[in-house]
Amino acid sequence: MRRTVHAKPSAPGTRRPVRAWLGLALLCLGAASAAAQQVAPPGIPADRFPKPLRPVASIISNQWSSEDTRERVGEAGRVMQLLGIQPGMAVADIGAGSGYYTVRLSQRVGPAGRVFAEDIMPDYLAGLRRRVAAKGLGNVTVALGEAHDPRLPPASVDVALLVHMYHEIDQPFGLLANLLPALRPGGRVAILDADRATSQHGTPPALLECELRAVGYRQVAFHPLEGGAVYLAVFTPPTQPPAPASIVPCRDQGSR
């Protein structure tokens, strides 16, 4: 229930003009818009796609683990090596969060490359934009997406990387279909996740492969990491995605 608050009259000489308050509100709105920009038109609407038949984990943090811990095990370096990330490539960091991969991908692809740091959380993107500006990463574009649509420019990405967040995607079939136009010829989708139930912030590999196959993607590589607790799965896209109504969700027997 909304509560009505009656303001006390201001003391003489302390009352601010309405125009001043309006100007402040517009300034704040402009700052929020600058922190979270959509860089491409919308794709297929979410309601055209079926829902996944398994739990969707909630978003609880803008990072999977501390960056120091991840650096000690060489996580980003190993993943970029396995994916063959080279100078001049364009990579989308889908669900970029605090920017652990964004910063390292920016350094790897160099001035001739491009990194799209995409997330659906405006607060995360505002912090990431500040980090990118502080480090002077001129090859990074911070982009606001939607749960069913990354909102990336057409033919702009060589590799789309989703790190420890696939299980949090509310509409995975929509996201995978709407990601297709952004991939360049020979483009790939790489997903790093934990081998456990989606309700426990992971994705069983068989379920992941099934859900991507439902949208026409084909798994071409699978790399167990951290003793098998984590994996990197790599997929190539279809030439054309299936019609949304023809997509059949996969049932995860371990997530009931």
Contacts of 58 by beta carbon, 8 Å cutoff, 6+ apart: 168
The pLDDT assigned to 59 comes to 65
The pLDDT tens digits for 173-225 are: 999 999 999 999 999 999 999 999 999 999 999 999 999 999 999 999 999 99
With CA atoms as reference, report the closest residue to 226 among 61, 26, 79. Answer: 79
Measured on CA atoms in the order 202, 204, 205, 210, is the torsion positive or negative? negative
Of 62-71, 215-224, 226-235, highest mean pLDDT: 215-224
Q: How far apart are CA 209 and CA 172, in angstroms?
A: 12
In 164-240, at which residue ranges do the beta strands (DSSP E only) sit?
Answer: 183-194, 218-225, 230-236
Contact 178, 149 (CB under 8 A): yes
DSSP state of 10: P
Pairing label, strands 114-119, 90-94: parallel
What is the C-alpha to C-alpha distance for residues 107 and 122, in angstroms, rounded to an integer? Answer: 24
**Mean pLDDT of all residues belonging to the chain:** 85
Residues 190 and 210: beta-carbon distance below 8 Å: no
- Rounded to the nearest 10°, the torsion over CA 88, 91, 96, 102 is -20
* pTM (predicted TM-score): 0.82
* Rounded distance between C-alpha atoms, residue 118 and residue 141, angstroms: 8
- Domains within the chain, CATH numbers bracketed: 42-255 (3.40.50.150)
Does residue 163 register a pLDDT over 60?
A: yes
Judged against a pLDDT cut of 60, whether residue 18 lies above it is answered with: no
User: Quick one: which of 208, 142, 209, 151 has its CA closest to 178?
Assistant: 151
CB 177 within 8 A of CB 217: no
